[in-house]
Every structure is written in C-alpha cells, then in structure tokens.
Amino acid sequence: MTDLQELFHDAVAGIEPADRLDAIQARTATPARAARRWWYAAGGVALATAATVAVVAVVSDDPAPKPGHHHGEHGMTASDPAPATQLLPVYFVGDSPVGPRLYREFDEVPAGDPLQAALDRLQRPASDPDYRVAWPDGSLTSARLGDGRIDVELGDGAPDLTADDLATQAVVYTLQAVAGDRRPVRFLHHGEVVLDDVTAAPETEVLNLVSISDPAEGAAYEGPQAMLVARGRASSYEATVPWEVRDADENVVLSGFATAEGWMDKLYPWAARIDVSDLPAGSYTFAATTSDPSGGEGTGVFTDTRTIIVR
Amino acid sequence: MWTADEALVQLYAAHWRQLVRLSVLLVRDQGTAEEVVQDAFVAVHGRWGRLRDPDRALSYLRQAVVNRSRSALRHRAVVDRHAARRTTSEEEPGADQAVLAGGRRTAVLDALRALPDRQREVLALRYYLDLSEAEIAETLGISRGAVKSHASRGAATLRTLLEEEL
C-alpha cells in the first residue's frame, strides 16, 4: 500500500453514511412490480456475476441484503421485492494438464448463514459443466466459526480424508473465502476430530493456474456497445493471460491477452475488456489460458472457459 | 438477470458506503456526498434496462458520482460567492474550522480541495478506489495520457501540501 493510498483510505474511514435505501426506493418504485422470489422460479441455484461478491462474502456482516419496502401507488403492499440471495465463492474440481485442480465460481444462493450456504453449495453440481462436485450430497452437514478455526461436521457419506486431498482443500478454500479469513478448518464426525486444523495449501499447488471470475456461465451481451468485462486470477508465465472467444464451431473469432498483476508465487488478478458488439448473435466460448513459453514442450496450458451468449 | 429493483438493492448493499466516501473525497461535505450518491443510484436504476450488467452498472455509478460531485462543487461555489458578497464581515468558516480541527483527515481533505477538479478526481479514483489507468480514463472520459499527467501533477502537489503527514 502506498502512502497516498493509506492517506486517502484513512481520510474517509470514519465516514458512515446514513442508510438511504428507503429514500432511493421511494424515488424508483413503480406500482406494478412483480415481487417473486425469482431464483426459486428459475429452478434452484442461479449463477450471477462476481461483481457484488463483497456484499456477502464476509461472515461477520449481515449476509442478507436489506429487504426493500414497497412504495407503490394505489395502496399496494406487495412485500419483500428484494431477492434474498447472496453470492458466494465456491471451489469445484476440474481437469488440468497436471491432473485435477480446484476451480472457483461465484454462485448465487438463497440468503442465510453464508458458511452453511457454502457447504450446501459444495454438494450440488457446479454451474460450469466442466467442473465436478467433490462432495456427495449429505457428506458435509454443518459448518460454524469456532475458536480461531472453522468447524465442519461430516455426514456419514463422507469420503476418507487427508489434509492434502483436493476435496479437503475445496472445503478449506471455499470456507476461508466465505469467512474472509484464513483461519484453519477442523473436520469432525459425530463430534470426533477427523482432521485437525487444515490450512490452505499453496495456490499454485491446488488451484488451476488460471480462473475466470467474470463472466458467469451463460452471461448474455447485447447491443451496439456490448462489452464483455472479463476478470479472473492467474499465475502465468510473465503474467501474460491469453484469452480467446470461440464460436459454436470452435473457430477463434476474437483473441488477445490480459496482463495479470504478477505471477509465480500465487494467482494474481487479471482483467480484460472485450468489445463483442460486432459478433453475430449466438453462443460462444470465452477461454482464458496460461501462456506456454515452451512451445508445447512443457506441461501444457491451463485453461478456464465460460459459455457466453451474444444476442 | 436482475430486475432494476433487484440490481438497485444489490448495488446499494455493495457500493453505497464506498461511493459516499469517494464523493466525500471530492466534495468534502458528507451531506452533499450522500445527496450526490443517492441521485446516482436513482439514475442507475433508470438505466438498468440498458446496462443489464453489474459491472457496467458499477462503472456507470462511479461516473455519475464523479460528475455529480463536480456539479455539486460548482453549485456550491456559486452559492458561496453569493453568500460572501452579502456577509462581508463574517469569517470564512472553511479555513478556520480546518485549522482548529487539525488532524490528518482534515489535512488530506483540505489538500484535495486545493487541487484542480481533474487532478482531485484522478487521485481519488486511483488511490481510494484503486482503479487502473484505463478504468480511470473510461470513468472520466479522458485519455490515458491525461490520466497519467493529472495523476503525477496531483500527487506531486498533494505530497508538498501534506509534507508533514507523509
């Protein structure tokens, strides 16, 4: 952190603005607004973009977005128009040139205790069809913040575990990310300790070396200024993160590269803004990879992909 | 896909506080900052049909906050000049209060007020929101070269003004 960064943050750290959501909603309310819990209608867990993950990915904060009040005309009293959901980072298993690795996606789940919600999400299919679930349904029963650690109670269907297992690390990475805290995870079964205080293994050893946070699987783009904003993390040779957009026939229609903030010791953020307004409507694959300086002699490139839609 | 109402709640939960703080860096007064950011949220709700994407909505919000903060400053400058003409004998509140209150926080906000608008905006986006040069250029609608020069000039002035604090 630079001196100026510190000064700027300090200068306004004490500013706690009044809550004006009600006032804003009073100005934006329309009388005929459908107040459905839309994610149930959509068939369970929906996927959303990672942009708002900061809202909920911290256990100590109130996980539920403030429910809005309806200020409609005609005396309508439809209640709870706000979707009670939260966006959580969840790690699943996928393939890589060096064997299975963890991939992260941001999933929107119903509001509630974030640790418990993350645990539930770990036991259901990933939104990205390339990823697999490491934990059969019922194998993880509960999670709670304990004294300097996170305690996870295993169900009867849980596999035998070691601290290095990717499945174990999927839980550790997910819960630490949700908790916003690197405290270790203890695994218990019927109250007996199965694995004590497991810490996160180094990123470069368990994560796929490139990951896409945005776009979310199935994100749609439309209009003359349609801009695909891609973000993710990577550890790639010289911090170069090549990306491409492929059409349904796997032809590369757009390509370029992003530069991550670093490489080697861990995964660093990268971002790219891609103008997709000239693409014909259809389904495309967005792929981000690591760069391969060996020209194919090395272990190969790591890849993460998302399906995107251009309308 | 969120509706405009859903997007509003999500964006508010994620960014309300940070955007008010950003606006405080630009306009200094918290009440003004809250008004500015409230207007920006109303505006983003109205545009959601075209934005349809939280990322684009956030950059639109930032842009709206910066532009509206600048307008608020202009408006206030006019009002202040007006007031100054009518109450010649009264002391200027800003400077005196700053001296009395002292402290690093006030010093930073004062120093920011001493900068030209663009420099102040570039510095706030860079050092408070941690935006990249390209993102700042896009937010302010200026070239990356201009961002660079505003940033270096602004930072140099600020460091001089804040010598004791750094």
Say what the ipTM of the complex is.
Answer: 0.85
Q: Tokens standing for A68?
A: 């809005």
Ramachandran quadrant class, A138 (left: phi over 0; alpha: psi -120 to 50; beta: rest): left
**Nearest neighbour of A214 by CB, restricted to B14, B50, B55:** B55
CB contact under 8 Å between B108 and A66, yes or no, is: no
For residues A123 and A135, is the Cβ–Cβ distance under 8 A? yes
Residue found by looking up tokens 């937010």 in the block: B139
A82:B130 CB<8 A: no
Residues of B in contact with A12 (CB under 8 A): 21-22, 24-25, 105, 128
**Residue type at A247?**
D
Nearest CA-CA distance, residue B60 and chain A, Å: 13
Task: Tell me the C-alpha distance between A213 and A49, whole Å.
Answer: 8
Q: What predicted TM-score, i.e. pTM, was given to this entire model? A: 0.52
Residue A192, Cβ density class (10 Å: 0-12 exposed, 13-18 middle, ≥19 buried): exposed
Residue from the list B6, B46, B105 with its beta carbon closest to the beta carbon of A10: B105
Residue to mutate among B16, B38, B55, B128, with most A CBs inside 10 A, is: B55
Read off the pLDDT band of A67 (50, 70, 90): very low
**CB-CB under 8 Å, B166 with A12:** no
pLDDT digits (tens, 9 = 90+) for B70-109: 888 887 766 665 555 544 333 333 433 334 344 778 888 9
**Domain final position from B74, B90, B106:** B90
The pLDDT of residue A77: 33
Q: B22, B57, B90: which is the final residue of a domain?
A: B90
> Is B55 within 8 Å of A2 when comparing Cβ atoms?
no
Q: What is the pLDDT of residue B74?
A: 80
Residue A287 has pLDDT above 50, yes or no: yes
Q: Is the pLDDT confidence value at B25 over 90? A: yes
- CA distance linking residue A118 with residue A89, whole number of Å: 8
- Residue type, position A180, single letter: G
> What's the mean pLDDT when you consider all of chain A?
79
Confidence of residue A97 (pLDDT cuts 50, 70, 90): confident
Q: Do B127 and B81 share a structural domain?
A: no
Two tokens, residue B48: 């959601």
Query: What's chain B's average pLDDT?
Result: 82
Q: Which amino acid is at B44?
A: V
Residues 161-220 of A with CB under 8 A from B: 214, 219-220
Please state, for a pLDDT cut of 70, what percent of chain B lies above it: 83
Instruction: With residue A275 as reference, give the H or E element that holds it.
Output: strand A268-275
> Domain of B123?
93-166
Of the two residues B103 and A255, the one the predictor is more confident about is A255
5-64 of B, contacting A, C-beta below 8 A: 5-6, 8-14, 16-17, 20-22, 24-25, 30, 33-34, 37-38, 41-42, 45-46, 50, 52-56, 58
Asked if residue A162 lies in contact with residue A168, where contact means CB atoms within 8 angstroms, the answer is yes
- CB–CB of B50 and A12 under 8 A? no
CB contact under 8 A, B5 and A220: no
Q: Let me know whether B66 and B4 are in one domain.
A: yes
What would the mean pLDDT of A54-62 be, rounded to a whole number? 37
Instruction: Look up tokens 């991939």; give the residue.
Output: A103
Query: B113 and B39 in one domain?
Result: no
Nearest residue of B to residue A68, measured between CA atoms: B9
List the CATH code of the domain at A209-310: 2.60.40.10
Give the pLDDT score at B90.
36
Nearest by CB to A28, from B33, B42, B124: name it.
Answer: B42
| Model pLDDT for residues A154-212, shown as the tens digit of each residue | 988 788 888 888 999 999 999 998 887 889 999 999 888 999 999 999 999 999 999 99
Residues of chain A with CATH 2.60.40.10: 209-310
Long-range contacts (CB closer than 8 Å, 24 or more residues apart) made by A188-191: A188/A151, A188/A152, A188/A153, A188/A154, A189/A153, A189/A154, A189/A158, A191/A153
Q: Test B45 with A28 for CB contact under 8 angstroms.
A: yes
Dihedral pair phi/psi, residue A31, rounded to 5°: -65, -35
- Do A245 and A227 meet the contact criterion of CB atoms below 8 Å apart? no
Q: What is the pLDDT of residue B84?
A: 52
At residue B79, the pLDDT reads 62
pLDDT of residue A46: 40
Per-window interface: A 242-301 vs B, CB < 8 A: 271, 273
More confident residue, B30 or A295: B30
Specify the range with the lowest mean pLDDT, choosing from B23-32, B56-65, B69-78: B69-78
Q: Is B25 in the same domain as B56?
A: yes
- Percent with pLDDT over 90 in chain A: 35
Query: Could you tell me the end-to-end alpha-carbon distance of chain A, in angstroms, rounded to an integer?
Result: 42
Mean pLDDT of B7-32: 91
Give residue-wise pLDDT tens across range B97-144: 334 344 778 888 989 989 999 999 999 999 999 999 999 998 898 899
B103's enclosing H/E stretch is helix B103-113
| CATH number for the domain harbouring residue B108 | 1.10.10.10
The H or E element that residue A230 is part of is: strand A227-234
Contact A107, A45 (CB under 8 A): yes
Same structural domain for residues B83 and B117? no
At which of B90, B109, B140 does a domain end?
Answer: B90
Cβ of B34 and A18 within 8 Å?
yes
pLDDT at residue number A297: 67
* Average of per-residue pLDDT across A209-219: 88
DSSP per-residue codes, A4-53: HHHHHHHHHHT--PPP-HHHHHHHH--SS-----HHHHTTS-EE--GGGG
Instruction: State whether B55 and B99 are in the same domain.
Output: no
Token output for B32: 């003004």
Q: Considering its fold, how many domains does chain B have in total? A: 2
